[in-house]
Structure 1
Amino acid sequence: MLWNAAARRAARNEGSVADILKTDDALDAALAILARGGIVAVPTETVYGLAGDATNGAAVARIFEAKRRPHFNPLIAHVADMAMAERLAEFDPVSRQLAAAFWPGPLTLVLRLKANSPIHPLVTAGLPTVALRMPGGFAHELIAAFGRPLAAPSANSSGRITATTAEAVAADLGDRLELIVDGGATPVGLESTIVKAEASGVRVLRPGGIAADAIETAAGVRLLREATHGIQAPGMLASHYAPGAAVRPNAQDVREGEALLAFGPERIEGAARAVAVMNLSARGDLREAAAHLFSYLAELDRSGAATIAVEPVPSEGLGEAINDRLARAAAPRDGTDAGD
């Protein structure tokens, strides 16, 4: 969706002060802001990211400040090529194989931080590891031109619905940013899958935009899904991606006053009484559902319903990541949520 003049004026009237530039016109402006330690909202293939120089502590602090994010949760550092990645972290053979298979793309690798890595400690939250991803599109071009990695969690207030359009970024963070780069709706619509290679296999720390079975095939080793202790990567807090309304996943009926997040061609009992309905995919396509998830949750949240009932979504493929997000959105709110 393109950012038109009327929408931009409306956002400004609601307090947004950020400039919004299309990707073709934004590179020089974005580079100038990053060079002085500022932050920029940029499109990636997954979701919109809030980008700042990952080697500059002040820039990283601005990301935390803009998101109102807990400082104990790490950020993903985004790179332009393997040479940049290898200056930051130690690559084991399996991680190198996964990078070759999925980069650029929606896969984040958790790797041991090199002793002389220029990554600022705020990015790793004091961990001996760093989460690395190589994005495509404008973000890739920006990092290559900047010459340094960018820390770029999702461009939304901490714990709120992740932004997949420039309009959503402006509505949430427009008064905290100088520039939002408009690349249209993001094609994947979910954050990256985060994995960590271990001696016994590859552990999935967060489901995301690449299905787990594809990762297992590419790695050629066993996929580990057992729970881990503590925070090892971004997006591992229990309550996360939450709208203002309560979320009720795997609903079998719609109760009075609820909104409905539907999936597939058939409705659950009481759907006609929903105050608002959005269907992730009328034909039951999980890729389409993933792309719609955050924007449809936000739309239903604006309906005024106290609760959003969610129809069951299959757990295979990208459905695993969708259900992960829904479970986090439904978790008890404790004020310590964090984004991608």
Structure 2
Amino acid sequence: MPATKSNCLLAQGALLEPAIARAAEVIRAGGTVGVPTETVYGLAARADRDDAVAAIYRAKGRPDFNPLIVHVADRAQAARLAHLDAVAQILVDRFWPGPLTLVVPRRDDARLSAAVSAGLPTVALRCPAHPVMRALIAATGLPLAAPSANRSGAVSPTRAAHVVASLGDRVDLVLDGGDCAQGLESTIVAVRPDGGWTVLRPGPITHAEIAGLLGTDTEISARGGIEAPGQLASHYAPGKPVRLHADAPAADEFMIGFGPVAGHVTLSATGDPAEAAARLYACLHAAAAAAQPRVAIAGVPDIGIGEAINDRLRRSAA
């Protein structure tokens, strides 16, 4: 069915149960559903069937070497899919449910499509906090593969309208749960067999928070090759040239401001990094839709969640 306005279901209040029930039917049949999480909207499909996972890759135009995050209900479901060592257990206890994805060794008997791991011996797992996504996982009784619900490489969606605009009839159903609270994809941490760890993708949970829990990471940066989503050099792009750390726009630029640097839109007029994270993709969508052929973006301090914001901005400009 086409993802038109009539194909968006409001997943709030009294309409939540029938919306989730219909979405669960689509998922169980092997279809795809755009669904809100606390980070961004995901394109969900059952993670245990090759055809369902292939539908995600096909809808997004996603390269098949780029693995997917599998969303689970809880630690018990995660443990049936992967080996969770002491380090992983500490992270689960502290940050799940929430915006943390763990890349951990996949079990040989995990009932998952091989495509979710893109040929790697690991799997990326997350237990989301958003009530709509949690309800959908519970209603299906399945782990759900769910990358961001947009065309591959484009700006991630933080509201249902972004999903429809990006994917159109490539998605079977979209659950409209309002704007995403965090606005940035989850932090991804790889837990190594030797007990070490490294952040593969910055996100709402900062490197400092994780280091405060586990001690200093054992790797300066991720290993070569793609180990997890969000590691492609060019990603989150508005489809126009992007200039970073701008103080003012040129005549042909759409300006995204921050703090005292004004713009056509602003990440945060008060210079609040958390607000900037939540508004980042909405501002990039506005830039993509603007008449100006180029985009200028004010600088954001590279501390705390600013590290994740700047990671996304660098990739959008690549």
TM range (shorter): over 0.9
Q: Which amino acid aligns with 2:306?
A: G
Query: Paired residue for 1:167, among 144, 161, 164?
Result: 161
Conserved 8 A contact 1:45-1:188 = yes
Q: The residue matched to 2:24 in structure 1 has which SS? A: helix
Distance in 1, Cα, partners of 2:98 & 2:6 = 28
Equivalent in the alignment of 1:273:
none
RMSD (CA atoms):
1.6
Q: 1:251-272 deviations in whole A, cap 9, x for unaligned?
A: 24422211111110245xxxxx
Q: Which amino acid aligns with 1:97?
A: I
Equivalent in the alignment of 1:124:
117
Equivalent in the alignment of 1:114:
107
1:70-149 matches, cutoff 5 A:
70-136=63-129, 137-149=131-143
| TM-score (normalizing by structure 1) | 0.88
Distance in 1, Cα, partners of 2:97 & 2:82 = 17
Distance in 2, Cα, partners of 1:201 & 1:248 = 36
CA positional deviation for 1:200: 6.6
| TM-score (normalizing by structure 2) | 0.93
Q: Kindly indicate whether residue 188 of structure 2 is the aligned counterpart of residue 194 of structure 1.
A: yes
**Range 76-85 or range 276-285, more displaced:** 276-285
**Aligned residues between the structures:** 310
Q: 1:18 to 1:161 in 2, by over 3 A?
A: farther
* Identity of matched residues, %: 49
CA positional deviation for 1:221: 4.3
Conserved 8 A contact 1:39-1:59 = yes
Equivalent in the alignment of 1:316:
303
Conserved 8 A contact 1:18-1:179 = no
Conserved 8 A contact 1:18-1:176 = no
**Range 299-308 or range 218-227, more displaced:** 218-227
Gaps (5+ residues) in structure 2?
Answer: none
Q: Which amino acid aligns with 1:108?
A: T
Gaps (5+ residues) in structure 1?
Answer: 1-11, 268-275, 332-340
Equivalent in the alignment of 2:274:
287
Q: Which amino acid aligns with 1:285?
A: D
Distance in 2, Cα, partners of 1:73 & 1:189 = 21
Equivalent in the alignment of 1:327:
314
Distance in 2, Cα, partners of 1:323 & 1:71 = 26
Q: Which amino acid aligns with 1:140?
A: R
Conserved 8 A contact 2:211-2:217 = yes
Distance in 1, Cα, partners of 2:199 & 2:291 = 36
Distance in 2, Cα, partners of 1:256 & 1:159 = 27
Equivalent in the alignment of 1:66:
59
Q: 1:147-197 deviations in whole A, cap 9, x for unaligned?
A: 110000000011111000011111111322221001100000000000012
